[in-house]
């Protein structure tokens, strides 16, 4: 059997040797937080949901030679290196801060499977964060 060659920057051309282990699934966690804020001239404690969503999936690209596996892994690491806005609430002041952080949201491994054959395993866990009001914020009545 001939080994496959990775086609750079063309995931659809390489889909013939992609093997899915886990379909994409999103899990959402909600935590109630209360913040003191002035909204439309009204100072009060306002309840919000701190929402953390995590999308998981797992797959492999199989049947490649070592050079193709290395090129595939490098491209997938670039694809899954993202800037995510983490939202934090300071315990003493209650201030909400959004901090952008660059992170790799997947584990990518080039694995030797036998002979001259390699595969690239990908386990993606991509988070996202948001603050959502628990109710509709009242309109300014002026």
More confident residue, 5 or 2: 5
Question: For the sheet containing 42-64, what is the strand order?
Answer: 18-39, 42-64, 117-133, 106-114
- 3-state DSSP assignment of residue 3: coil
Domain ranges, ordered by start, for the chain: 15-133
Alpha-carbon distance of 73 to 79, in angstroms, equals 10
Instruction: Please give the radius of gyration of the chain, using alpha carbons only, rounded to the nearest integer.
Output: 22
DSSP 134: S
What does pTM read for this prediction? 0.76
pLDDT in tens, 72-125: 999 999 999 999 888 777 777 767 778 899 999 999 999 999 999 999 999 999
Phi-psi map region of 13: left, alpha, beta (phi>0 left; psi -120 to 50 alpha): alpha
When pLDDT is cut at 50, 70 and 90, the band that residue 42 belongs to is confident
């Amino acid at each position: 059997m001939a080994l496959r060659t990775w086609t750079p920057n063309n995931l659809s051309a390489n889909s013939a040797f992609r093997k899915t282990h886990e379909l994409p699934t999103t899990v959402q966690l909600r935590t109630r937080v209360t913040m003191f804020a002035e909204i439309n001239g009204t100072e009060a404690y306002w309840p919000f949901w701190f929402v953390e969503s995590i999308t998981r999936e797992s797959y492999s690209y199989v049947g490649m030679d070592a050079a193709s596996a290395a090129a595939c892994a490098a491209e997938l690491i670039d694809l899954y290196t993202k800037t995510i806005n983490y939202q934090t609430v300071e315990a003493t002041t209650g201030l909400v801060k959004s901090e952008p952080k660059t992170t790799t949201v997947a584990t990518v491994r080039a694995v030797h499977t036998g002979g001259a054959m390699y595969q690239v395993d990908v386990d993606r866990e991509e988070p996202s964060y948001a603050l959502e009001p628990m109710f509709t914020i009242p309109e300014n009545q002026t």
